[in-house]
Amino acid sequence: MGSEIMGRVTVKVRVENLADLLKAREGQLTPNEVRRLDVDDALVDTGATMLSLPKAQIKQLGLKKFSSRQMRTARGTAKFNIFDAVRLTIEGRECTLDVAEVPDDCPVLIGQIPLEMLDFVVDLNKRKLIGNPDHGGKFMHDMF
């Protein structure tokens, strides 16, 4: 599930190019042609908002920039590039979301939006992701 490294929560994730997945569904690509990335040590960062990938991994996935946004960081405000949507999978739970670019010396960051979309919370005592206790640990969303 996750691992404890110096108090940090890391998880295994799969990130797939959503445009490739759609082409594969239409028969334009084979499933093996879908660009994907398996990461064993993505950092769960409850202080971050989005899914963030290093520049090299964005290039590997073939994602295209479509916007840039101002974001707050520990060093102040900075502009970040935003890239095409991907399908993120953690422990069999999937969601689709845009990607923010971080420098290559940063890890893959799993922020609050993907955590909420996947209905995970951080268990601070065990330092791992768990299914939302409000939903009995099952993958569920509130629609009201």
Q: What is the pLDDT of residue 74?
A: 65
Provide the sign of the torsion angle of the four alpha carbons 6, 53, 12, 143, taken in this order.
Answer: positive
d(CA 79, CA 62): 21
Q: What is the pLDDT of residue 7?
A: 60
Read off the pTM: 0.89
Q: What is the pLDDT of residue 92?
A: 95
Give mean pLDDT in consecutive 10-residue pieces for the chain, a chain of 144 residues. 62 98 97 97 92 97 90 73 97 96 94 96 89 89 79
Query: Per-domain residue ranges for the chain?
Result: 2-135
Q: What is the pLDDT of residue 70?
A: 72
Q: What is the pLDDT of residue 114?
A: 97
2-135 CATH pick, 2.40.70.10, 2.60.40.10, 3.30.565.10, 1.10.132.20 = 2.40.70.10
Q: H-helix or E-strand containing 101?
A: strand 93-102
